[in-house]
Amino acid sequence: MDVAEALRILEQERARGLALIEEAASEADLEAAETAVLGRKAPVSEVQRALGTLSPEDKPAVGRAVNETFAALRQALAGRRQGLAAVAEEAMTRADRIDVTLPGRRPPPGALHPLTRTERRIVDVFSSLGYRVMEAPELDTDWYTFEALNIPPDHPARTMQDTVYVDVPGREDLVMRTQTSNQQVRSMETLDPPIYVVSPGRCFRRDTPDATHSPVFHQVEILAVDEGLSMADMKGTLEAFARAMFGPDQQVRLRPSYFPFVEPGAEVDVSCFVCGGSGCRVCGNGWIEIMGAGMVHPRVLENGGLDPERYTGFAAGMGVERVAMLRHAVPDIRLFLESDVRFLSQFVAGST
Ligand code: PHE
């Protein structure tokens, strides 16, 4: 190797090394570049080893050039290494950094389902009249759902309520309750008179869904059993309820009707809260039917272990969906079950 060649190699390796170091995008790239240009087998190291073969006059110049090349490459390496470390650190602190002064991301406000709100409102009115909440099971025996309520297996009233029978091996007597009236005999067995209970919950019937029918729906039922209760007490209670629920000018009207577990029985109408009773599209004739009611049948009191000579009572049950549809002018019962946020969000800020 002569001087000219040694200087050419050093020149070339310096340029190649600086480029490699500059291009290194990671610590691994940098280490590879270091080995390639500064390692034992690197051309610069070879020139260094060949120094001994040069003449004493040539040695100092080439030796200086070797040192300078090493120094330049080492400096570039150190600089690049520092640069890469700074970039990594910056990325880390950026990920960690929390600006506590930024406003938070507000989750969209949730709200109770309109049926829940309506149900709670109904229950609240009766609670404030002194009724206590008593829930009965959704899956119950034929006894509590029908037989104890004076509806024997062959009674035609059963066809009024297309029941969902449940196939539980060894239990032929279970049904999905068709009405919250399954609380009546249960309440009489659980509590001693005077009994004043309000019983909300889900009911099930084998109905084909349409605008006014749903196989799953909700009712709220009340039951009062005491000494000396009369139909006047029932009407007064229902009137108080209607006024609390729909407005202070509400009228209540009873029409004779038939439910096997009450005698006498009635359909309960309230004066239309849309037109005030003059007749409109919602009510037709000024009255809106909202519940069934009646004086508890003596046989039901007996089935509840109570003496019908001593106690009398009344019961009334209403559909939560129907009340909610009327209050909010909802045209189709299925809207309540479709979980469509466009429908449900209308109730977020509304009153119950
Ligand atoms: N359970 C009856 C129904 O679902 C309503 C009702 C309740 C009637 C209490 C009278 C007394 O239709």
Which is nearest to 20 in space by CA: 86, 79, 77? 77
Q: Whose CA is nearest to atom 3 of ligand 1?
A: 179
76 & 120 share domain:
no
Contacts of 26 (CB under 8 A, 6+ apart): 84
Q: Is residue 237 part of a domain?
A: yes
Q: Indicate which atom in ligand 1 lies nearest the CA of residue 222.
A: 9
User: Residue 52: is its pLDDT beyond 90?
Assistant: no
For residue 199 and ligand 1, the question of a CB distance below 6 A is answered with no
pLDDT band at 349 (very low <50, low <70, confident <90, very high): low
SS (H, E, C) 192-241: CCCEEEEEEEEEECCCCCCCCCCCEEEEEEEEEEECCCCHHHHHHHHHHH
Which is nearest to 296 in space by CA: 286, 310, 283? 310
User: What is the whole-number distance in angstroms between the Cα of residue 273 and the centre of ligand 1?
Assistant: 22
pLDDT digits (tens, 9 = 90+) for 91-117: 888 777 778 888 888 887 788 999 999
61 & 139 share domain:
no
pLDDT digits (tens, 9 = 90+) for 272-285: 888 888 888 878 89
Name the strands in the sheet holding 132-133, side by side, starting at the edge strand that comes first in the sequence: 132-133, 195-204, 216-226, 312-319, 287-296, 262-271, 252-257
**Are 314 and 295 within 8 A, CB to CB?**
yes
For residue 179 and ligand 1, the question of a CB distance below 6 A is answered with yes
Top mutation candidate among 144, 160, 175, 179 for ligand 1, by most atoms within 8 Å of CB? 179
How much is the pLDDT for 149?
A: 96
Q: Indicate which atom in ligand 1 lies nearest the CA of residue 318.
A: 5
Report which DSSP code applies to 40.
Answer: T
92 & 145 share domain:
no
Compute the distance between CA of residue 188 and CA of residue 129 in angstroms, rounded to an integer. Answer: 19
Tell me the average pLDDT across 201-227. 94
148 & 44 share domain:
no
139 & 77 share domain:
no
Q: Indicate which atom in ligand 1 lies nearest the CA of residue 223.
A: 9
Domain that holds residue 196: 114-347
State pTM to two decimals: 0.70
Q: Is residue 103 part of a domain?
A: no
267 & 330 share domain:
yes
Top mutation candidate among 221, 229, 258 for ligand 1, by most atoms within 8 Å of CB? 221
Q: Which of 21-30, 31-40, 179-188 has the highest mean pLDDT?
A: 179-188
276 & 330 share domain:
yes
